[in-house]
Structure 1
Amino acid sequence: MALFGSIIKSLIEIKENLTPEGDALKDQEEVLRNLLKKAKDTEFGRHYDFERILNSDNIKKEFASTVPYFDYHKIDKEWWHKYHDDGAKNVTWPGRPPYFAISSGTTGKTSKRIPVSDDMLEAIRKAGIKQVSALSNFDLPPDFFEKEIMMLGSSTDLQKQGDHQEGEISGISASNIPFWFRSYYKPGEEIAKIDEWDDRVQKIAENAKNWDIGALSGIPSWMELMLKKVIEYHDLNHIHEIWPNLQVYTSGGVAFEPYEKSFNKLLGKPIQVIDTYLASEGFLALQDRPGTNSMKLILDGGVYFEFVPFKPEYINEDGSLTKDAPAIPLEETRKEEEYVLLISTVSGAWRYIIGDTIKFTNKEKYEIRITGRTKFFLNVVGSQLSVNKMNDAIKSLEDKFDISIPEFVVAAKRGEDGEYYHYWYLATEDNADAEELSEALDHALKEANKNYKVARSKALKGVKVKLVSPDMFHDWNAANKKKGGQVKMEKVMNEEKFNEWEQFVQDQK
């Protein structure tokens, strides 16, 4: 039975060995040049004179000095709205997008509608092939390549809106999978089209015994919920009792480490975790080798990258960049320094603030880790806490107290005594003492961040911790956005949003 798998594995290994490693810097300049060439006759390209940029001596420098930064709200207000309001074409990319990716992001209830061009779908398809090819670098047996893959995304039942369709990017991608892959793909077209998350997961649980799943793919928080449902429905001790050949989990969109401990409790044996970076705006990076938890930027795939140093003076309160924030190209980045990621893409996003912060862990291989979100930067009283530092502190609590904390949210606000405190809500199903966790969390943050330590000696009075069930976070997302898909929990809230959260927690009791 493993013969077919051996053939597939051999073909993948041959392709991987025959595909030459490109020159990253040349690839990126070529991507930018192609983007400018293809879009030079669009409204956007004419407005910013892409023809002149293409004829300049240094197109990277000229591009950066000519085109301003755009976050979603700015580019939608100035450009993308024309697709919907005026039925326009050739706005920021040639033609009209056949799809729009709906994304609620991590804050707010208002959905974003991000154009997805045919060129972007092709770029995502090629990135997917790169990911499959990279499996030859992992120690996987031949029979793995005969197993089925559970892709837990949003519904593939896309909504028809005039001449285009709308849905989350995972649903758009799954609705465009190649025909030869469909026999491997689970939960299958019929179940994948179910819009309601709970109904879809119920159907997955009911059918789980009919599938031989070798790999999982999806966001960790929702994958955990699905696995728990399958385990509960079939009265199992762990997921390997029903899917004994499960060997790989492809995570995406968020750092896996905060979920690792709770995720592993659902397994009967260790599996290979592989990170990917598929955002609503494009497939940006993938892990292509074992022995690391970093991802390699896809530098020849229709996305041009720029990087803004992640420093408080360059970040506005809403997570946008200040006008004087400097952007640097790939060659000027440095290892272990945090950057705000900017992308220009084959869907007509230009110098677009995707909202994530990253750091390079290996410059030679151009490998990165997602470290947080620009909006999840807590600096109300000078503490300068990024999500990366928060995640590290939470991990230290898990190790010290032998507990699992898959989710958290924090805000800075004044207490009844008029002093500023950091108020944390930690999700855990384990027995723990909030006061002990508060002291340990405060200590860990002082040790890891000198700015936090200084703030604690001045304007920041202390840390207050409350413990809630992980289900509270899932219910909050369901009430404010939607379950499943690309939805991620916000980690840092402003005072107004945090008051809503606390009221929600109170109402659930």
Structure 2
Amino acid sequence: MGLKSSLSKIFAFFVNRQLNQVRRNALGLQQNTFSDLIYQAKNTAFGRDHQFYSINNYEDFKKRVPVRDYEELRPYIERVSKGEADVLWPGKPAYLAKTSGTTSGVKYIPISKQSMPEHIKAARNALLSYIHETGNAEFVDGKMIFLQGSPVMDEKAGIATGRLSGIVAHHVPAYLQKNRLPTYTTNCIEDWEQKVDAVVKETVNQDMRLISGIPPWCQMYFDRLSAVSDGKRIKDIFPNFKLFVHGGVNYEPYRARMEESIGAKIDSIETYPASEGFIAFQDSQKEKGLLLMVDSGIFYEFIPSDEYFNEQPTRINLKDVELNKNYALILNTNAGLWGYSLGDTIKFVSKDPYRITVTGRIKHYISAFGEHVIGEEVEQALMNVAAEEHVDIIEFTVAPQVNPEKNELPYHEWFIEFGKPPADVPAFALKVDKALQKKNIYYSDLIEGNILRPLIIRNLKKDTFINYMRSQGKLGGQNKVPRLSNDRKIADELKEYVS
């Protein structure tokens, strides 16, 4: 064991003691965060507009600050992006994180000098929690790769602007820099396919021990590593590769193919970072869910997902949440986001400590006939049947077909790219449909009542989703394919890829 790994175990011990304090005092820490946020922002333009000086408790806050999505908060953010100070948070932001919104086009999310360190601390603590629980620290002595966006910054009104992963690259602790790949030059390559090829060239002969990134793009990296290594599996290319760190999408639909490419099961750590804040990370290999970051400058609110689109939905804070109930996640942050609807849905799987799972997107659902099928239900139905049938799923998306030809009943149309396809696709589709009916009673009623016919699967050609994302200018980085759509925009474009 090397010096770094030995020291990391000591560091992990002390960090875990701090995290235990956080786990035990979540509600108090959230109340402290709430009070601190209101106090610091009371003299900003937003604070004055919403009478922060008269907010004494959470009930006051709800009366004065409505829930808003990005579009509704945009007038304030545009003032920030033009260089105005003291708009949403004191001073000017340290960065503007550039993201691709599904409904808002390009979005610019402020990151303050107070919020930036929280991103780094949470990522660090995820690794240290793993070391403390498992005792496995050898990865610290080898090379680590973080597949991420370019660290090259643009400027808007004197504020550095870039992708979150590129911004974070400028804040990697010095003790990790010597171990970290790819090189800065390679990381700056904008074209994703050129970048992956360059990363492969730089890493194929290195002692890679930790790999981190969004699963579909890591899979692309693995495929190209194998291609230049005479078809070897990743465990044979990197014998000491022991830890995969992932986030951005649910890993389960990718796990089987990733492990097949690797050639072994390895430990993984799930993280939940967003440009708006680092929300949670997997702090245990034994317990389900991700530990909610309650002391990181974010005050959380929650709206039951089935009430989200109501005129006056229930709006609660952490002390009133229930287990196994879907909530839309609302953020108030030390970067100046207030009553901000992140767009994600989560579910609490523990309240001692507060751990969550990410269940989908509030606007990614299918409800053409009132069924309100959500991402969690679709993913679980598909992956459970795929595991039973030994079927390999590369990627998929689902959309309603409301106006089928030949006067047929409407149905849900599933576009799936298989790695290992089922021997009988219609029979496989029927099993998935039955599994989905068990998870969603409204969908089951529509099938039983002959309002909908069982789902239909379209088998897609190899590399369909890579080619589709390339055609959209969204190949690589933090870009993801929506799993569910309530319209036909993506579905109609995928028709040409049906095999």
TM bucket normalised to smaller: over 0.9
Match of 2:12 in 1: 12
Match for residue 89 of structure 1 among 85, 89, 96? 85
Cα distance, 1:61 vs structure 2: 1.6
Q: Where do residues 464-475 of structure 1 align in structure 2 (5 Å cutoff)?
A: 464-469=456-461, 471-475=463-467
Q: Give the secondary-structure state (helix, strand or coil) at the position aligned to 2:110.
A: strand
TM-superposition CA deviations, 1:405-432 (whole Å, max 9, x none): 1321111122111632111111202232
Cα distance, 1:472 vs structure 2: 1.2
Rounded to whole Å, the distance in 1 between the matches of 2:3 and 2:162 is 38
Match of 2:37 in 1: 35
For residues 470 and 249 of structure 1, do their structure 2 counterparts lie closer, same or farther at Cα, with a shift above 3 Å needed?
farther
Rounded to whole Å, the distance in 2 between the matches of 1:18 and 1:421 is 51
For residues 502 and 406 of structure 1, do their structure 2 counterparts lie closer, same or farther at Cα, with a shift above 3 Å needed?
closer
Cα distance, 1:138 vs structure 2: 3.4
Rounded to whole Å, the distance in 1 between the matches of 2:137 and 2:454 is 54
Rounded to whole Å, the distance in 2 between the matches of 1:227 and 1:27 is 41
Q: Contact conserved, 1:123 with 1:283, CA < 8 A, in 2?
A: yes
Match of 2:64 in 1: 66
Letter in 1 for 2:67: Y
Match of 1:156 in 2: 151
Match of 1:437 in 2: 428
Percent identical pairs in the alignment equals 28
Letter in 1 for 2:433: D
Q: Contact conserved, 2:9 with 2:135, CA < 8 A, in 1?
A: no
Q: Is residue 426 of structure 1 aligned with residue 416 of structure 2?
A: yes
Q: Give the secondary-structure state (helix, strand or coil) at the position aligned to 2:365.
A: coil
Q: Contact conserved, 2:115 with 2:334, CA < 8 A, in 1?
A: yes
TM-superposition CA deviations, 1:189-244 (whole Å, max 9, x none): 22111111111111111112342111111111111111111111222421111211
Rounded to whole Å, the distance in 1 between the matches of 2:132 and 2:452 is 48
TM-superposition CA deviations, 1:145-170 (whole Å, max 9, x none): 21222111111122233402222111
Match for residue 468 of structure 2 among 476, 480, 483? 476
Q: Is residue 199 of structure 1 aligned with residue 194 of structure 2?
A: yes
Rounded to whole Å, the distance in 2 between the matches of 1:140 and 1:235 is 34
Q: Contact conserved, 1:109 with 1:481, CA < 8 A, in 2?
A: no
After alignment, is 241-250 or 231-240 more displaced? 231-240
Cα distance, 1:293 vs structure 2: 4.1
Unaligned segments of structure 1, at least 5 residues: 316-320
Cα distance, 1:437 vs structure 2: 2.1
Unaligned segments of structure 2, at least 5 residues: none
Q: Is residue 414 of structure 1 aligned with residue 403 of structure 2?
A: yes
Cα distance, 1:20 vs structure 2: 4.8
Rounded to whole Å, the distance in 2 between the matches of 1:247 and 1:339 is 34
Q: Give the secondary-structure state (helix, strand or coil) at the position aligned to 2:366.
A: coil
- With normalisation by structure 2, the TM-score equals 0.94
Cα distance, 1:3 vs structure 2: 4.3
Match of 1:394 in 2: 382
Cα distance, 1:490 vs structure 2: 0.5
Letter in 2 for 1:380: A
Cα distance, 1:123 vs structure 2: 1.6
Cα distance, 1:499 vs structure 2: 5.0
Rounded to whole Å, the distance in 2 between the matches of 1:138 and 1:474 is 37
Q: Contact conserved, 1:261 with 1:404, CA < 8 A, in 2?
A: yes
After alignment, is 216-225 or 426-435 more displaced? 426-435
Cα distance, 1:18 vs structure 2: 5.8
Cα distance, 1:17 vs structure 2: 3.4
Match for residue 283 of structure 2 among 278, 283, 288? 288
Q: Contact conserved, 1:411 with 1:422, CA < 8 A, in 2?
A: yes
Letter in 1 for 2:249: V
Q: Contact conserved, 1:383 with 1:452, CA < 8 A, in 2?
A: yes
Q: Contact conserved, 1:407 with 1:470, CA < 8 A, in 2?
A: no
For residues 79 and 476 of structure 1, do their structure 2 counterparts lie closer, same or farther at Cα, with a shift above 3 Å needed?
same
For residues 292 and 483 of structure 1, do their structure 2 counterparts lie closer, same or farther at Cα, with a shift above 3 Å needed?
farther
For residues 389 and 499 of structure 1, do their structure 2 counterparts lie closer, same or farther at Cα, with a shift above 3 Å needed?
closer
Rounded to whole Å, the distance in 1 between the matches of 2:287 and 2:467 is 33
For residues 50 and 422 of structure 1, do their structure 2 counterparts lie closer, same or farther at Cα, with a shift above 3 Å needed?
same
Cα distance, 1:91 vs structure 2: 1.1
For residues 255 and 499 of structure 1, do their structure 2 counterparts lie closer, same or farther at Cα, with a shift above 3 Å needed?
closer
Q: Where do residues 232-251 of structure 1 align in structure 2 (5 Å cutoff)?
A: 232-251=227-246
For residues 118 and 469 of structure 1, do their structure 2 counterparts lie closer, same or farther at Cα, with a shift above 3 Å needed?
farther
TM-superposition CA deviations, 1:455-476 (whole Å, max 9, x none): 2123223311101146211222
Letter in 1 for 2:31: E
For residues 396 and 301 of structure 1, do their structure 2 counterparts lie closer, same or farther at Cα, with a shift above 3 Å needed?
same
- With normalisation by structure 1, the TM-score equals 0.92
Cα distance, 1:260 vs structure 2: 0.8
Q: Contact conserved, 1:356 with 1:370, CA < 8 A, in 2?
A: yes
After alignment, is 119-128 or 108-117 more displaced? 108-117
Rounded to whole Å, the distance in 1 between the matches of 2:140 and 2:360 is 33
Cα distance, 1:25 vs structure 2: 0.5
For residues 468 and 379 of structure 1, do their structure 2 counterparts lie closer, same or farther at Cα, with a shift above 3 Å needed?
same
Cα distance, 1:19 vs structure 2: 5.6
Q: Contact conserved, 1:343 with 1:351, CA < 8 A, in 2?
A: yes
Cα distance, 1:439 vs structure 2: 1.1
- Cα RMSD of the aligned pairs, angstroms, is 1.9
Q: Is residue 351 of structure 1 aligned with residue 353 of structure 2?
A: no
Q: Give the secondary-structure state (helix, strand or coil) at the position aligned to 2:138.
A: helix
Match for residue 446 of structure 1 among 425, 437, 443? 437
Cα distance, 1:265 vs structure 2: 0.8
For residues 19 and 67 of structure 1, do their structure 2 counterparts lie closer, same or farther at Cα, with a shift above 3 Å needed?
closer
Letter in 2 for 1:157: V
Rounded to whole Å, the distance in 2 between the matches of 1:255 and 1:138 is 23
Q: Is residue 79 of structure 1 aligned with residue 59 of structure 2?
A: no
Q: Is residue 371 of structure 1 aligned with residue 362 of structure 2?
A: no
Q: Where do residues 488-507 of structure 1 align in structure 2 (5 Å cutoff)?
A: 488-503=480-495, 505=497
Q: Contact conserved, 1:406 with 1:470, CA < 8 A, in 2?
A: no
Letter in 2 for 1:467: N
Cα distance, 1:387 vs structure 2: 0.5
Rounded to whole Å, the distance in 1 between the matches of 2:120 and 2:181 is 18
Rounded to whole Å, the distance in 2 between the matches of 1:499 and 1:429 is 20
TM-superposition CA deviations, 1:39-68 (whole Å, max 9, x none): 111110000011110xx2xx1121122100
Rounded to whole Å, the distance in 2 between the matches of 1:272 and 1:26 is 33
